[in-house]
Amino acid sequence: MFTDIQPGTEWRHHSGRIYVVLFRANDVPEPRPEYPLTIVYQNRVNGTIWAARADDWHRRMTLTGKSPI
Protein backbone atom coordinates (compact mmCIF):
# COMPACT_ATOMS: atom_id res chain seq x y z
CA MET A 1 0.00 0.00 0.00
CA PHE A 2 1.19 3.53 -0.81
CA THR A 3 3.94 2.01 -2.94
CA ASP A 4 4.32 5.17 -5.02
CA ILE A 5 5.39 7.22 -1.98
CA GLN A 6 9.09 6.36 -1.88
CA PRO A 7 12.23 8.19 -0.73
CA GLY A 8 13.59 10.37 -3.51
CA THR A 9 10.27 10.93 -5.26
CA GLU A 10 9.16 14.50 -5.90
CA TRP A 11 5.61 15.69 -5.23
CA ARG A 12 3.60 18.85 -5.89
CA HIS A 13 1.39 20.05 -3.05
CA HIS A 14 -2.02 21.46 -4.06
CA SER A 15 -0.55 24.90 -3.17
CA GLY A 16 2.06 24.46 -5.91
CA ARG A 17 5.05 23.89 -3.62
CA ILE A 18 7.41 21.04 -4.50
CA TYR A 19 8.54 18.47 -1.91
CA VAL A 20 10.87 15.48 -1.89
CA VAL A 21 10.13 12.40 0.22
CA LEU A 22 13.00 11.75 2.64
CA PHE A 23 11.75 8.56 4.26
CA ARG A 24 8.77 6.51 5.43
CA ALA A 25 8.34 6.20 9.20
CA ASN A 26 6.47 3.37 10.95
CA ASP A 27 6.79 1.30 7.76
CA VAL A 28 6.39 -2.20 9.17
CA PRO A 29 4.91 -5.46 7.84
CA GLU A 30 2.17 -5.49 10.50
CA PRO A 31 1.05 -1.89 11.04
CA ARG A 32 -0.66 -0.82 14.25
CA PRO A 33 -3.38 1.86 14.27
CA GLU A 34 -1.59 3.92 16.92
CA TYR A 35 1.54 4.12 14.70
CA PRO A 36 0.33 4.92 11.16
CA LEU A 37 2.65 4.96 8.18
CA THR A 38 4.05 8.49 8.10
CA ILE A 39 5.81 10.26 5.25
CA VAL A 40 8.67 12.61 6.09
CA TYR A 41 9.32 15.11 3.32
CA GLN A 42 11.24 18.31 2.59
CA ASN A 43 10.39 21.55 0.81
CA ARG A 44 12.66 21.89 -2.26
CA VAL A 45 12.99 25.69 -1.89
CA ASN A 46 13.51 26.43 1.79
CA GLY A 47 14.43 23.00 3.20
CA THR A 48 11.61 22.88 5.76
CA ILE A 49 10.92 19.30 6.87
CA TRP A 50 7.37 18.05 7.39
CA ALA A 51 5.60 14.79 8.23
CA ALA A 52 2.15 13.57 7.20
CA ARG A 53 0.13 10.39 7.50
CA ALA A 54 0.32 8.29 4.34
CA ASP A 55 -3.44 7.70 4.33
CA ASP A 56 -3.93 11.46 3.82
CA TRP A 57 -1.07 11.97 1.34
CA HIS A 58 -2.81 11.65 -2.03
CA ARG A 59 -5.55 14.09 -1.02
CA ARG A 60 -3.11 17.00 -1.35
CA MET A 61 -0.03 15.70 -3.20
CA THR A 62 0.58 14.76 -6.86
CA LEU A 63 3.61 12.79 -8.00
CA THR A 64 5.87 14.79 -10.33
CA GLY A 65 8.73 12.31 -10.63
CA LYS A 66 12.05 11.25 -9.21
CA SER A 67 14.12 13.89 -7.46
CA PRO A 68 17.49 14.78 -9.00
CA ILE A 69 19.19 14.54 -5.58
Assigned domain for 2 exists: no
pLDDT digits (tens, 9 = 90+) for 17-68: 999 999 999 999 998 999 999 999 999 999 999 999 999 999 999 999 876 5
Position 43 in a domain: yes
Is residue 19 one of the residues assigned to a domain? yes
pTM of the complete model = 0.89
Q: Is residue 32, in this structure, part of any structural domain at all?
A: yes
Does some domain include residue 44? yes
What confidence score (pLDDT) does residue 68 get? 57
Domain coverage including residue 47: 9-64
Distance in angstroms (rounded) separating the CA atoms of residues 47 and 44? 6
Task: State how many domains the chain has.
Answer: 1
- The verdict on residue 45 lying in a domain is yes
